[in-house]
Every structure is written in structure tokens, then in C-alpha cells.
A and B are shown apart, each in its own frame.
Chain A
């Protein structure tokens, strides 16, 4: 079961074996080098394999993501398949999991911060710095204006209900914990996540 050899390594070995035996034995010599020069390398030889989890339902099937660098040098996903070692899904995926690559590389992925101004009929780009400063300012101003520090009985309540935060359903625990710290420290009570619906 625990063969200490990755699949990629195994393919490399197998490929080398084929070249050495068949081509070499038939004595192609110089022709061999010319032939190899325009044979495309195995895609797998340049891809990385990463263990991940399907982001859809809570069966949480294990997946293996294959990625390699694009022209700009950014690692891009080229293939996703079920992880045969995973005890729950044992390598299988459903019609959604099988098409995960299309989610990662969807044309409708967001790639830059955008803003829609009041009354406008379109989004326009905004820099990260400008967007984040605008958000921080809006938080500070609304909290300063509307944080209820004490109730009528004089009890400290430090409650802020004019700003709300909906958290996700597929972010990691670690994102969730950082989100929790930030939202709670500000006194936001309109806090919820997708489990509600």
C-alpha cells in the first residue's frame, strides 16, 4: 500500500525505460535525438500535485490538484481528480467534484477590486488600497456614530447593530477564526453564516 514512490516519479521511470529499450535497441541513433526534440514533454512531468478537499458539500471528498506555471509564471490548475487514498471518497467524485477545474478557472472569477458608485449602472476598477481605506473609514465612522455603549439601565452593552457581517460556508477554519476575532472585537452583533439558511 505504502509504496514510497510518487506517481509522477513512477511515470518518469517508466518513460525512461521505454526510451532505453525500444528506441535504443532499434538503433535510431541521431534520428532519435531529432525525434525527441519535437516530442512534447509529459504534462505530468511539470505539474505539482497537491492534496486538497472538494469545497462543495460536507462529504468533503479528498482531491488531488494538478497545477503548473503559465506563461506569466503563475501556478494555474490544469486538472483535479479524486484522491484514492481518502477513506471517505476513495478516489470517486460526483458530477460537481469532477468539474471542479471549471470552477477554479471560471470566466466569472473575480480578478480585481471593483466599485459600483451610487446610482451607477456599472462596476469600475478601484485599487486595493483605495478600497480598503474606504471600507476602514466607513467602519470607523458608522461604529463611532452608532455603537451603543450602555443601555438605559446603564449596563455596558457595547453593541453595534447598524453594520452587519455575513460569513461564508466554505472558507477555512483559520479564515473563520480571524474573521471572528475582527468582527467580535468591533462589537458587531449582526453576525451570521450560511448555516442559518
Chain B
């Protein structure tokens, strides 16, 4: 989230699209209710189903799964056509005026540079025109035909309300009504917030869905302002934290990158990370990259990371592919190329797409190690449960070790909420039986491996032998010790660059914030964006002052948020070019003639003059991007792409299937179905009574939603002869499930490109262990293809068939 849960009360209009907050985030959704009651805010829901959120909305429109980009580009087109643009914001704070290379263009659903063979774009034309001084050329009048604004206008021109209806199945009058409601928020004193979740991410073009809405929000001037923003409702309690800390193939904590083998040395690695400003006078804060990177290396390897050995650069692995994400790992596993696999609180047998492939892949491992508080299907993938897990244990040679861990109630530490608040919690009880903390388990494994390397030697033992391990009890690193490492420490006195005689933080003390990090080896910091969370003021994440003098839900003294305890990202953009808040009623920050002041920590240098330094300090342009240059693999603007399995062809290019640059392994391509065999669109979703595959272990939740079902329209039920509450078989090219049929009015057939499209809803909470009845999840049916930029699998739009099955019918 750019904003926070409590900030939602400041909004005038909520759009929930790509999510179902009332169902999946009920206590956060209360802030929508708050805004409706106390500000008169309105709620719009756009979703294939009339969801629980839709049931309390002011206006609802249906949409075909996987067609969101067309809807959003249609919205942008309508805003431009009807002059519903926050012009001051767009001209000053976005890249609307920057000129783009002459060669860039779009035709037949594709941008310039497409190579069908490589399934990739040559992105060199998706770039600004640069002047001799290295800065981008601009036309502040927005008249130049190559300025971003005019290219955007041309790009969205095809998405008329009629085209939106044709692609999305959303009736034109509903689209237009929503456009009018959204258009009102182009006023500087009216704000819309976007609340989305996996309904947008789980597509082969998920990142572009989100960009589409971000662009709309920029055009309306709604980023950085109270009650606005792009608010990703993260699914799990610390998925934000695990991503921040970089537990991914290609990440280093704080969104730094693991090097690739094209970066054979430190100098080459840093060369592409200079982040020289693209417009004069801009901050381009990533220019500090080397300080964060060196401090990370010092945190990992201490005295073994020196200027002479390039800060132990070769202790880091170098990637030969963009990432060994879990889709790639399961593909390699299925090819017999993975021997040993660890699952720490993760149940991939049910969570990863294409379950049949998951079972086959896990069966080829030598050893699987599962650490979890609960029994999981993954740990028991080899166990026969009849139709629910139809395997032959004798044929599976994988050894499985299952290690019992503590759960939240027995553990201490911080979790990061969706609004980036790091909230500390304390252990209330002891783990049951022999269960142990994850930290103890990781320390035990590491210490034993290190002892083996110390005793026997072996392959490149240096990064293991030299890993810092500064814990009072090496077998049990404590949460506060680990948090202090992430905050960072001065290894030598840190002095003021303007006055070297002034010591900011003495050697051995915790650094105050990342502003004190250095690239000369004098500081160590595990995760720069968390720097400030546990400094010499103590554990700021444990703060519990819930007062809110701002009245805007800022709560600055409750816990701690990254970065620098800032609660709203890009908050400088909440004020105009003179530094006056757009809306005096919702004043977050203002310029007092000398510096920024207000209720939140300014997201800009405190003395940066409002007319000179633009608010988007992480971008070399200093402004936000309506045109994202070559930074995304599938286009600098979002363009409509069909799901890989779709009932209709892409209206712009009937040869194009799915996202033309999404990675597709051959084995997965062979399991894609077509609409003649699988005529119905399926989508997955959550229920408020359950949390993924955990709550089926709880008797209370298992009793509230005991049994797997699929949801279909009354029309489809009639067409297929399916009884209300009757048993059905649902199958895709990859697998089949049996379920009870929930026949509802919540799903209606849509008409897309002249064709009737039926949607089948498939909730995701059942498996074969726990207290609920045994069942299946959507991943028995879904394809293993991921988003072109971040490889999140396409769970939200795929094809199935459905038929009545024999079995008891329970109404």
C-alpha cells in the first residue's frame, strides 16, 4: 500500500477491482465503511462475481476475468476525452511532457521490437529522447507529438466504451456510470483510492493490470494524497516483510538485486546502478545504492568483506537466468534436476498452480524438509487419500522430514502489515511438545553445516565459514539481536559529510537511519529500508501510542513504518507546486518557505524547494511514469492481452495467445486447453470464513464452511442440467475435481465479442488434512504460467468444463 489502512477513512471514492476486501480483509474494510459513513464516500466494485464487497457497494459492474486492462485503458481514454484530468498534477508530477524516441510505436497488439522466436521485446525504442546534457527532452506545453501525453492519448484511443463492452462484457452504460463517478476525483479536493489484491496479480499480465490503475490514479492526481493511492492488500501477515527482506531468487534486502553473470565484478555491477538524474535538479535517491549494498555485505560477512575483495562480491551467487522462482524450480524438479527442497511454512502442493505437476516434481526429490506448525498436504504428498490424493506411496522414493515449529502465539518479532507498519509482537505461550522456533531450527541447520565445512573442507566454504554470527547464544539467535542487525550499526564513527569533526553516530552504536549508511565499510546494515526500526531510541516497532493528532489516521507513534516511519509514500505530492496542500481539509504536509512540515515524515529532502525538486524521488526523472520506459518486459503502456486460456481471441491480433512475452516451459505449453474443449472461464477466490489452507485445521472455521463447492450461474446450471447443491465434476486440460454446485445469482453470463461467456467460481480452502471435509483446490485445474515480469501464476482466468456427477445432492 502507498497509504495505510487507517488512511482509507479520508477517501471520497473507493474502487475495489481485482480484490474482495469485505471478504478477504474484513477488519481493514471497516475503514471503507468509516469513509462511507463519515465522509459520504462511495464504493464501486468491478468483479466477475457480485461479491460480498459488491453487496455493500454503491455501484457494481461485472467484468470478464482477465480483461481488466481494456477496462482501465477505457477509463483513461474517457478521462482524457472528457477533460477529467488533474492538470497541475499531471504536468508537474508525471512524465507527460517527456519526449519518447521516434521509433517507438504499437500495432496489432504489440509494441515495437517484438521477436516471436525469443518471445521477447527489444526494448531499446521504449526510451526518452535525451539531449546532449544527458537529460530527457521535454515539451511542457504537451503539444509535441512524441511527448508521453500524446502517445498515451493515441494508445488508449482504441478503448472506446463499445470496445470495453466487447472485450470485458461490461455493459456500456455501467462503464459510463463508473467513469462519471471516477471523473469527479480529478478535482484537487476529491480523492479515489484503489484497493486490489490477487484478483489483479494472478494473471500472466498482472503487473500491467496494476500499472493501468496507477496511471489512472496519476491522471486524477491521487497518488501521495490522503485517501488516495494504490493499495495492494497483501494476502498474508508478513508477505510484505518477507519480500522487503528479499527472500526471493534475485533479491537482496531492501529491493537490491542479486548480480547476474553478466556482471562479473563489482565495478560492472555498480556501473549500471549509477541512477544519474534524467531531469535537472532531481533527487534520484537510488544514487545511494552503493551505500546500501556495501552495508549489506558488511552485515553478512563483516571483516571478511573488504574494499580489497570488492566487499566479498563473489560470496554472492550470480544468476544465469532472471530468477529461479518456484515455477522454474518445480519445472527443474520435474526434470529430475533438484535433489533437496525446503518448505518453511509453505504448502506448495496446494499453493502452486498445476497440482499434478507438483506431485510429479516432489516425487523426484531425494529429500524434502518441511517446517510447519501444522500438518500440510505438501509434507504428505506421498500419502494416499483416495481420489483426494491418488498416489502410490511405494512408488515414491522421496524422503520427507517434517519439523514442528512454533506459531505466532509462541513467537516474538515483527510482522509488516499491508501499510508497511512493522509491528512487534510477543510470545504468549510455549510451543507444544517438541516444537521449536524457526530461528532455532535455522541456526541448528547452519551451525551443523558450518561445522562440517570447518572439519572437512569442501566446495567454496568461505561464505559459510565467514557469515557473521554475532549472537550471544549461537544456537539461539534472539529476535532483538536480529532486528538490530537489520537496522544497522556503525562499525566506525559516522561523521557529518558537511562537518567531518561532527560524529553523528559513534562506533558500535546503532545507526539512526539509512541516511547514515556509508559505502566505505564503516557501516553494516541488513535491510536498509528498515534502518531506523531499532536504533539508539530502542525498539521503535514496539511503540504503542495510538494517538492521532493529525485526525487523518497517521498514527506516527504506533509501531514503525518503512521507510523512516513515513506513513504515506510520495506524500510530497499531496501539495501543489507552491507546497500548499491540494486540499486544505486534508493537509498532510506543507512548505513553510524554508522546509516541509506537517503530520507525516516528508517523502523528500526536508529543505527541497517545492518548485524545483519533484516528488517521485526514487525515479531518476523525479516525476512519476505514465510511460514506464523499458522497465517492464511486456510494454511501456498496458495493452490488452487475453489470458493464456481464453474463450475469445485477442481483438487486436488473433495470432496472439496470452501475454506474448510470458515465459512458457514446453511441458506447460502442452497442457494448455482451448475453448472448444473447455468452454467455461474459471476463476479462484477466497472466503471470509477461511484463510488459505490453514483454517481447515480449526473446528470453528471448518464447521462454518465445511465443504468444497464451485459457484455457477442459474443459466449455466440449466444449460448443463446441474441441480442446486448437486455434485459436479469440473475438469481442465490438467486435472479434475468433484464439488458441490452452488447455483447463484451472483454470477451472470457475459457477452464478449458476440459470444456468451459463463464463469465458474472456485474457492481455494480445502485439501486432505485438517478438520474440514476433504476436498480439492483450484490448483488441480490451473496452468503453470506466470506473469511476464514477476512470474505470479495465472490463477484468476483459465478454462474448464463442467458436468453433473453422480453423488448425493444436498440443498
Residues of chain A whose beta carbon lies under 8 Å from any beta carbon of chain B? 48, 50-62, 65-67, 74-77, 80, 85-89, 92-100, 102-104, 106-121, 123, 126, 128, 131-140, 142-144, 146-147, 149, 151, 153, 155-197
Contact = CB atoms under 8 A, between A and B. Distances in A.
B449 A140 contact: yes
B417 A59 contact: yes
B771 interface: yes
Contacts of A181: 300, 446, 467-468
Nearest to B469: A181
B238 A178 contact: no
A94 B449 CA distance: 43
Contacts of A153: 261, 264
Closest 6 CB pairs of A and B: A111-B433, A172-B413, A168-B345, A110-B404, A169-B236, A136-B448
Contacts of A59: 5, 25-28, 417-418
Contact of B695 (A96, A133, A157, A166): A96
Contact of B245 (A99, A180, A186): A180
Given A121-B393, A157-B318, A137 B245 contact: no
A158 B441 CA distance: 25
Contact of B253 (A136, A138, A177, A187): A177
A132 B448 contact: yes
Contacts of A160: 317
A192 B325 contact: yes
Interface in B326-361: 326-329, 332-333, 337-346, 348, 351-353
Nearest to A99: B700
A116 B314 CA distance: 37
A193 B242 contact: yes
A173 B399 contact: no
B130 interface: no
B315 interface: yes
A118 to B, nearest CB: 4
A93 B701 CA distance: 14
A104 to B, nearest CB: 5
Nearest to A162: B339
18 contacts: A59-B28, A67-B428, A80-B409, A95-B688, A99-B700, A102-B698, A109-B373, A110-B433, A113-B404, A121-B393, A162-B337, A163-B338, A164-B341, A165-B341, A174-B439, A175-B413, A191-B248, A196-B790
Contact of B486 (A57, A89, A128, A177): A177
B377 to A, nearest CB: 11
Contacts of B25: 57-59
A8 B397 CA distance: 55
Contacts of A98: 700
Contact of A157 (B317, B439, B485): B317
Contact of B242 (A128, A161, A194): A194
B728 to A, nearest CB: 26
Nearest to A59: B28
B382 interface: yes
Contacts of A168: 238, 242, 344-346, 438
Contacts of B433: 110-112
Among B400, B401, B417, the one with the most A-chain Cβ atoms within 10 Å of its Cβ is: B401
A168 B405 CA distance: 12
Contacts of B374: 103, 106, 108-110
B548 A87 contact: yes
A151 B429 contact: no
B27 A61 contact: yes
B791 A174 contact: no
A58 B247 contact: no
A195 B317 contact: no
B364 to A, nearest CB: 12
A190 B329 CA distance: 6
Interface stretch (B181-189, B207-215, B281-289, B476-484): B476-484
Nearest to B245: A176
A155 B415 contact: no
Nearest to A110: B404
Given A60-B237, A96-B690, A138-B367, A193 B248 contact: yes
Contact of A174 (B253, B318, B414): B414
Interface string B26-53: 1110110000000000000000000000
